[in-house]
């Protein structure tokens, strides 16, 4: 069994970047397989704790570590559109020399959405958007040249993505959710009805329906 180290879980001591950096280096030294950080602008209204931006932080941690995998736990899909996410994760994979994992969530903390000016769709729509997000990211990770995409939520024209990720065909994608909507959506529309194991590895995707083993510090 492999273990990941969650540097900043909700409800634990809030850490600024120097402490996150120190703990990431220590976690790699102690043999953790992966390092994870939360993706929040803030968590409680009126809370002035230093929630550093998560993607910028992962890029910085990639420069001070050498072997440990890097990921969120989990990244809120709603805060970045799918094409932009593909660009972000391609770049992070290059910076880290192939150590990025893509942990996606549908989002839940309504006060963050409203505070930063994002619409807060229904749970079903947020899950459906993840499904379309995976389709778009997969194409941008693998397609040569540019392409058009016409989906329910996004339309892309002459879109392309370079550089490609180092990991082929793309970094592992893990969906983090306790909700039945994610499981039902993936099992009935993207994968066969009997795809109900704890982990699925299909064409480079790693879809994990169980609680991942992470340790909080």
pLDDT per residue over 173-200, tens digit each?
A: 998 765 544 444 444 334 333 333 233 3
Query: What are the chain's domains?
Result: 4-216 (3.20.20.30)
Residue 44 pLDDT greater than 90, yes or no: no
Say if residues 29 and 57 touch (Cβ distance below 8 Å): no
- Separation between Cα atoms, residue 48 and residue 38, nearest integer Å: 16
Reported as a pLDDT band with limits 50, 70 and 90, residue 168 is very high
- Separation between Cα atoms, residue 131 and residue 113, nearest integer Å: 20
Residues above pLDDT 90, as percent of the chain? 66
Residue 211 pLDDT greater than 90, yes or no: no
Per-residue model confidence (pLDDT) at position 200? 34
Of how many residues is the chain composed?
217
Residues 80-100 have a mean pLDDT of: 98
Give the Å distances, CA to CA, from 102 to 139, 161, 170, 200. 15, 17, 10, 15
Rg (CA), the chain: 17
Q: Which two tokens stand for residue 63?
A: 């420069």
| Residue 60 parent element (H or E) | helix 54-64
Say if residues 4 and 214 touch (Cβ distance below 8 Å): yes
Q: Locate the DSSP E strands across the chain.
A: 4-8, 34-37, 69-72, 75-76, 102-105, 147-150, 155-159, 173-175, 199-202, 205-208, 214-216
Residue 80 pLDDT greater than 80, yes or no: yes
Q: Which two tokens stand for residue 93?
A: 């994979």
- Of the given ranges (62-76, 119-133, 155-169, 188-202), which has the lowest mean pLDDT? 188-202
End-to-end Cα distance, the chain: 19
Q: What is the mean pLDDT of the chain?
A: 83
- Separation between Cα atoms, residue 6 and residue 160, nearest integer Å: 33
Reported as a pLDDT band with limits 50, 70 and 90, residue 216 is very low
């Amino acid at each position: 069994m492999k273990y990941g180290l969650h540097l900043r879980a909700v409800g634990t001591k809030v850490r600024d970047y120097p402490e996150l950096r120190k703990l990431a280096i220590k976690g790699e030294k102690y043999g953790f397989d992966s390092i994870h950080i939360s993706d929040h602008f803030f968590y409680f209204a009126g809370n002035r704790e230093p929630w550093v931006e998560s993607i910028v932080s992962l890029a910085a941690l990639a420069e001070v570590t050498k072997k440990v995998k890097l990921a969120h736990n989990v990244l809120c899909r709603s805060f970045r559109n799918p094409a932009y996410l593909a660009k972000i994760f391609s770049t992070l994979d290059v910076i880290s020399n192939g150590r990025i994992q893509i942990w996606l969530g549908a989002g839940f903390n309504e006060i963050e959405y409203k505070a930063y000016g994002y619409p807060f769709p229904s749970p079903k729509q947020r899950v459906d958007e993840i499904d379309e997000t995976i389709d778009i990211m997969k194409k941008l990770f693998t397609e040569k040249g540019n392409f058009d995409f016409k989906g329910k939520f996004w339309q892309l024209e002459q879109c392309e993505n370079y550089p490609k990720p180092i990991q082929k065909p793309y970094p592992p994608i893990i969906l983090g959710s306790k909700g039945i909507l994610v499981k039902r959506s993936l099992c009935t529309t993207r994968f066969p009805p009997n795809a109900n194991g704890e982990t699925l590895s299909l064409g480079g995707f790693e879809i994990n329906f169980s609680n991942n083993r992470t340790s909080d510090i």
